[in-house]
Structure 1
């Protein structure tokens, strides 16, 4: 198990350090063959749900390219990175002059990861390319994920994508590509990664040192995780099953019992070091509302389906604003739960 880095879940291996990838053999083969052909696109959009291995694949491919700078001489498949190789050591330590990882920065005052990738972070890409312009080496930028770019940051990235430098490669990660600027999507080659199968999930969790205690626990975790290792870790390490049970109790309750359940849940998710649990809660709220909208639509209750669909967007926006402006988390949870209950 690796050191815990900012933004990395307890029990996870930071993608930059992870030498093993499960369940994406076809995507790996496509990237290796496209690169070897010499016709690889300068910007690849790695799409798929959060926590299925997109960042690990991006660093894996970056390692492959920097280890084999001549495409014609590159292997026809991606091998597990060798932690002892100079390229791997430089990438792992953040000291590679040919790789830039753009992600949400850590706030120096609070020590917490910021809510967006700002234009100041994106400007590092311009500096990165200007410093390495005469090297002749591949220069790789991983945007992780592009969903976190604020408006100015997204526009700044777009300008670079419109006129990419020579031998530049962009690996653009997205959990929800439909939310990206259409102009960014149009300049990238999409590569869709699917949620992991149960077999791949078990292998990934075993690689991280997690042995599910019983078949019943395994079925529950795998069902709710829905092919996402990150979601599985939140269930195992951050009380995901308890959060779902408390959410159901608050939604199904009535009168004083409902209000008490809501406050208990809000208190539990508003304490110190509860960011991961809170993030799991926000994901579950979105999943719950989408399921309700789907069920209402299948039942022919289109007005209700539209109301639930609208609530997904409204609550997602509420969570985003609350995070951006550091609003009271407990009150945000209570407001959201009241809207859903209504």
Structure 2
């Protein structure tokens, strides 16, 4: 029942061990009041962009609930977890019998994190709830994120949500709740978190000790869009340089443009480039969507349709490449060629 976070970003603090949360005081206060009232929902959908503290909030709330299993005796606010408290130590070490953290598992053959949370992972939740708690405490499942559930896994979770065991709680995290099964969303209480405000970003990055050159700080924070995860990818994974090369490629033509395409492809297909590749794919999707939206707003419906269709074609192309393990460098070159036509 380990809560170790596979694929933790360099420079990040594992949410289970993070004792500080910035920018979400209202959401935390709502959870504390709801729990203390004794009328809290058994499944909470914590939604919002990636890297803004959803998992940290979930683990803080789980720590609070497990430390105060009787709602009426719980404090009115959620305090920073005490690392030396038995509950905190059990959660951090994965030794708690009252919490199950469902996330994408690591493939034992390749050592890489799998692309989805499978039904085999969800079956662990069934086993988890079938065990009798020696303390009579809550049983909490954190799904991190539910966006990664494949179809069979999502249906399996749905069955548990429909008939939850006594003193069971689900904290369902989602970066894109619109992609979840409507039936899963309908059985959860939504709690929306927003991008971190500048002050909260400064506090969060200060806690991590992230070093951003003074001359690049403003640009990095603008590109981070209130997400600590994006800031880490921009600084620690070469994301800022990749996005700069992408903009230069779009502005160039002929041999210069081709040179920039190869520079990007080399950066995204090298060893240990999974995070950078995922970051760029996300940025590319945003770029195409924003371009289509901008063209539609200016009345260029033909151009908007072109970029909307291009986004769909590229998503399919990337999916096929991943499924058949096609050469990543060539795939990236093909994608960039399609964008620049």
CA–CA distance in 2 between the matches of 1:331 and 1:57? 40
Task: Give CA deviations for 1:253-298 in whole Å, capped at 9, x if unaligned.
Answer: 3233322321221111101111111111112101211221221122
Mapping of 1:51-200 within 5 angstroms?
51-132=51-132, 136-200=136-200
What pairs up with 1:217-296 in 2 under 5 angstroms?
217-296=216-295
In 1: Cα distance, 2:76 partner to 2:295 partner? 48
Which whole-Å CA distance do the structure 1 matches of 2:284 and 2:54 have between them? 23
Which residue is 1:304 aligned to? 303
Long gaps (5+) in structure 1 = none
8 Å contact kept, 1:48–1:195? yes
What is the distance in 2 between the residues matched to 1:35 and 1:325?
Answer: 47
Task: Tell me what 1:338 maps to.
Answer: 337
CA–CA distance in structure 1, aligned partners of residues 41 and 313 of structure 2: 36
Contact conserved, 2:27 with 2:191, CA < 8 A, in 1? yes
The match for 2:325 is: 326
Does the CA contact (< 8 Å) of 2:98 and 2:133 recur in 1? Answer: no
Q: In 2, Cα distance between the equivalents of 1:59 and 1:315?
A: 36
Q: Secondary structure at the match of 1:334?
A: helix
Whether the aligned pair in 2 keeps the contact of 1:100 and 1:142 (CA below 8 Å) is yes
SS in 1 for 2:159: helix
| 2:49 paired residue number | 49
Task: Tell me how far apart the structure 2 counterparts of residues 200 and 236 of structure 1 sit (CA, whole Å).
Answer: 18
Check conservation: 1:143, 1:173, Cα contact below 8 A. yes
Secondary structure, aligned partner of 2:7: coil
> Cα distance, 1:330 vs. partner?
1.3
Alpha-carbon separation, structure 2, partners of 1:110 and 1:44: 34
Q: How far 1:324 sits from its partner (Å)?
A: 4.3
Unpaired runs of 5+ residues, structure 2, are: none
* TM superposition score normalised by structure 1: 0.95
1:6 aligns with 2:6: yes
The 8 Å contact of residues 139 and 168 in structure 2, kept in 1 or not, is answered as: yes
| SS of 2:195 mapped into structure 1 | coil
The answer (yes or no) to whether the contact 1:34–1:40 under 8 Å persists in 2 is yes
CA contact 1:98–1:132 (8 Å) conserved in 2: no
> Are residues 225 and 112 of structure 1, via their aligned partners in 2, closer, same or farther at CA, if it must alter by over 3 Å?
same
Shift in CA distance, 153/324, structure 1 to aligned 2, threshold 3 Å: farther
Partner SS for 1:39:
coil
Give the match for residue 38 of structure 1: 38
Aligned 8 A contact 1:19 1:81 in 2: yes
Matched, 1:315 2:314: yes
Question: Cα 1:309–1:135, aligned 2, differ >3 Å: closer, same or farther?
Answer: farther
CA distance in 1, matches of 2:205, 2:153: 34
Offset at residue 326 of structure 1 (A): 3.0
SS at match of 1:269: helix
Aligned length: 338
Q: Compute the RMSD of aligned alpha carbons.
A: 1.6
Shift of 1:87: 0.4
Q: Shift of residue 301 of structure 1?
A: 1.2
